[in-house]
Copies of this chain bind each other. A is one copy, B any other.
Amino acid sequence: MSKLDTLIQDLVVANRILAKEDVVDAYGHVSVRHPDNPKHFFISRSLAPELIEKADIVELGLDGQPVRDDKRALYLERFIHGAIYEARPDVTAVVHAHAEDILPFGIAKATKLRPVIHSGSFIGTNVPVWDIADKFGATDLLVRNVDHGRDLAKCLAGNSVVLMRGHGFASAARSLIEVVRLSVYLPRNARALMRAKQLGGKIKPLSKGEIDARNRGYSPYSTETWRAWEYWANKAGCGHMVTRPDGGHVHKPKS
């Protein structure tokens, strides 16, 4: 397979993992930037992530318009992706989803989402909450155009995750593996914080120094990161689709 074929297959695997791990359901999407053209990105046509195959992937410009003539329906909210790629040259992959357990943090004002467990460290020290109503008034809450997308990207700023009030979140990272890992552990971190609050007393989150130390120790194709990707792909029934860029051994699921 060519490098591009491999990337598109990885994107299919990412979709299936996010579906299996309950980050997305019929809604939500993941994209990856074109490795040779930073003004293009890949994302599925409008389809539930669990059902996506390679032929469903389309190539869009940062304005959310298809690069090739294509009549297939697209995700309404693809502008989230384009706007984040536009504002953040360091970002290679984006997820938008409605994972249930992050929703309360976009609705209630009293508790800020922040990392309290080590696997949640990648959400970073600051998780802003974007309220579409602040700038656009009474909408249907969807990111339906470039203006919406840019306002969201502005709120995300240099962070890894932005919550969307009454709607969901968008996350951004340097690679597909990273954005999937971030998005899977985000709701787990949210649950740990919610339950810690119910136990009461002072809560000790990760310190700035700990978050930085974890970022320093992280590499997308390390043994540890790969272990999770391989595990999730097997759980999602697509372990056979996993390819390892460094040519290393790929685990086969047992019968």
Q: A200 at the A/B interface (Cβ < 8 Å)?
A: yes
Residues of B within 8 A of A107 (CB): 116-117, 192-193, 196, 203-205
Contact B138 A204 (CB under 8 A): no
Which one, B26, B27, B140, B210, contacts A140 given CB within 8 A?
B210
A75 shortest CB reach to chain B, Å: 9
> By the criterion CB–CB under 8 Å, are B105 and A117 in contact?
no
Interface 1/0 per residue, A86-104 and B, CB below 8 Å: 0000000000001011011
The reply to whether A194 and B202 contact each other, CB–CB distance below 8 Å, is no
From known contacts A107-B196, A197-B199, infer whether A210 and B133 are also in contact, taking CB-CB under 8 Å.
yes
Residue of B nearest to A21 (CB): B25
Write the residues of chain A forming the contact surface with B, with a CB cutoff of 8 angstroms.
25-27, 46-48, 50-51, 53, 73, 76, 98, 100-101, 103-105, 107-111, 116-119, 121, 131, 133, 137-142, 165-167, 188, 191-210, 212-214, 216-217, 223-224, 227-228, 230-232, 234-235, 251, 253-254
26 of the cross-chain contacts (CB-CB < 8 Å) are A25-B228, A26-B230, A26-B231, A27-B119, A27-B227, A27-B228, A46-B223, A46-B227, A50-B231, A51-B230, A51-B234, A53-B254, A76-B224, A104-B199, A105-B199, A107-B116, A107-B192, A107-B196, A108-B199, A111-B199, A121-B140, A138-B208, A138-B213, A139-B213, A140-B213, A194-B195
Contact B108 A203, beta carbon cutoff 8 Å: yes
A133 surroundings in chain B (CB, below 8 A):
207, 210
Q: A108-B203, A166-B206 are in contact. Are A198 and B198 (CB under 8 A)?
A: yes
Copies of chain A in the complex: 4
Q: Is the CB of B104 within 8 A of A192?
A: yes
Bound CA span A162–B51, Å? 34
The 4 closest A-B pairs by CB, nearest first: A110-B201, A138-B209, A48-B231, A26-B228
- The residue that A108 contacts in the complex, of B137, B200, B210, with Cβ under 8 A, is B200
Asked if B110 and A98 make an inter-chain contact with CB atoms under 8 angstroms apart, the answer reads no
